Chain A
């Protein structure tokens, strides 16, 4: 089978799996909305009517089929809670989340790479031990603790009181920086320990290869070795980690940050949908995340070919 078809069938199976599991969990076993919509004292007929509207009286297979069909025709429907169209909700929330999460995500990765390169260059010396110790410490602090700590430190009268405690009223660069700084710092703090550790392991492995010895035997400086040879040879694992964590950080990470800071992004919208059983929103988010994963996988395979001549 040609490469593209193989990838595509693999992706198709993955989408089937993701949608099946999320449908079972979130829709079939998810919260029953009958009473939320019509209140406690409804008549039997009213209940039956609402259940039919919601599709509750149909079988699992039929409902799953509808779910898939809706997803692939982008017929995402409207939110059960607010009545707003799901497309509109996505259009409103996704840019907020990207603006909120991307700076911290990118800086957390770059900082991790820089620290890991430094540690690799000074392997087994005190700089390396310091960086390794720092990353283990970072890994041992809970996300929630970091957020609370930074909030107290930067946003309250008990600390520096420079930034807002919560919210997102962005209307320009200044207000953007005002609201994005503390969440960004939190995200960097959370991710940098894990990133540094991961990248250090990759770089140390690369630095042990034979061709690094060759480079040194031909007079390359430690800087040249790290920046050119080690870094370029490590691009495949770096890109893999970067690409594959994008959907997870954007959805999972934003879920906590947005709930905590009260920011109207996709994470908060999704979490509200989980707890209220807002099926149209859930369908869209889970389905689109799965599709994003497949697209990212295809795209990542394509980038591999650009950075590593061995991958044909």
Chain B
């Protein structure tokens, strides 16, 4: 427990299109410890997704101004790395799963091709080796017929299946950090549990720290170790999950809790 998997300090995101508008994310900082599941909760529009995209370096400079004191991945600051070095980390040391499984995968490439191209890109695997490993990954995320899934195109799979393909892709290089941005919001309830079980099981197995972005406190109660509450681009409360539910400090947290008392019970 010496150094965290991911350390963020003073991360700020502003729109360059509306210079006068308040920052979408302002001066937030947190540590994601090795192997833990840290939940980031808050109402929609509070800046959770922008936080994730800023950490991943996905916000185009023409539209967004991102400043950070530090974005440390395993003790190395990546906030000043050149683009080529950043690319080597993305999908390799740090991965991301998106909210919309229906549109997150490229429709014109087979699922297997998409997963194995990440392996080939980062691990330099040969075609056959990447293929075998991809099929193993697909098996790991619970597909009984990984060969068929490998050949399938995204539109031939259900939302839950696509999200599992995403998980296979995200975990294929055994990243230190995984950011899961509302991974189950678009799925129905039974699929939600299945997908989150797979995700957290693999995370534990590989020692991957997970930043789980959600607005569902039921999910937080069930899967997370710690939780951060975000309001208007600021983190207002950080706590162990048990403590948060027992003694919410911030009024905003209490309000969030009141929406989901059913799920908590």
Contact = CB atoms under 8 A, between A and B. Distances in A.
Asked if the two chains touch in their complex, CB atoms less than 8 Å apart, one says yes
Nearest to B53: A213
B51 interface: no
A229 interface: yes
B108 A219 contact: no
B88 A219 contact: yes
B235 interface: no
Interface in A199-219: 209-211, 213-219
B58 A213 contact: yes
Interface residues of A, number: 23
Contact of A217 (B95, B100, B107, B109): B95
B221 to A, nearest CB: 28
Interface in B103-124: 103-110, 118, 121-122
B60 to A, nearest CB: 8
A307 interface: yes
B201 interface: no
B96 interface: yes
Contacts of A220: 87, 121
B169 interface: yes
A165 B68 CA distance: 64
B156 to A, nearest CB: 8
A207 to B, nearest CB: 10
Given A233-B106, A309-B107, A218 B58 contact: no
B114 to A, nearest CB: 8
Interface string B70-95: 00000000000000100111111001
Contacts of A125: 62
Residue in A219, A232, A309 with the greatest tally of chain B CB atoms within 10 Å? A219
B150 interface: no
Most buried by A among B104, B105, B166, B169: B104
A232 B105 contact: no
A106 to B, nearest CB: 23
Nearest to A309: B153
Contact of B56 (A215, A217, A229, A235): A217
Nearest to A213: B58
B155 interface: yes
Contact of A308 (B56, B108, B118): B108
Given A210-B98, A213-B58, A309-B155, A218 B108 contact: no
Contacts of A235: 108
Contact of A214 (B89, B106, B121, B153): B106
Contacts of B109: 232
A219 B110 CA distance: 18
Given A209-B103, A211-B104, A233-B107, A310 B169 contact: no
A210 B108 contact: no
A124 B108 contact: no
Given A218-B90, A308-B108, A213 B98 contact: yes
Nearest to A210: B103
A221 interface: yes
A310 B91 contact: no
B103 to A, nearest CB: 4
Nearest to B156: A309
A215 B106 contact: yes
A214 B108 contact: no
Residue among A233, A235, A309 facing the most chain B CB atoms (10 A cut-off): A309
Nearest to A212: B106
Contact of B169 (A213, A218, A229): A218
Nearest to B91: A218
Interface in A279-312: 307-310
Contact of B106 (A211, A217, A219, A221): A211
Contacts of B98: 210, 213-214, 217
Interface of B: 53, 56, 58, 62, 84, 87-92, 95-96, 98, 100, 103-110, 118, 121-122, 153, 155, 166, 169
7 tightest A-B contacts by CB? A218-B91, A210-B103, A219-B90, A219-B91, A309-B153, A211-B106, A124-B62
28 contacts: A123-B62, A210-B104, A211-B105, A213-B53, A213-B58, A214-B98, A214-B104, A216-B58, A216-B90, A217-B58, A217-B95, A217-B96, A218-B95, A218-B118, A219-B87, A219-B91, A219-B92, A219-B118, A219-B122, A232-B108, A233-B106, A233-B108, A307-B108, A308-B107, A309-B107, A310-B108, A310-B153, A310-B155
Given A214-B105, A220-B121, A309-B110, 10 more contacts: A124-B62, A210-B100, A210-B104, A213-B53, A217-B98, A219-B92, A219-B118, A308-B107, A310-B107, A310-B155
Interface of A: 123-125, 209-211, 213-221, 229, 232-233, 235, 307-310
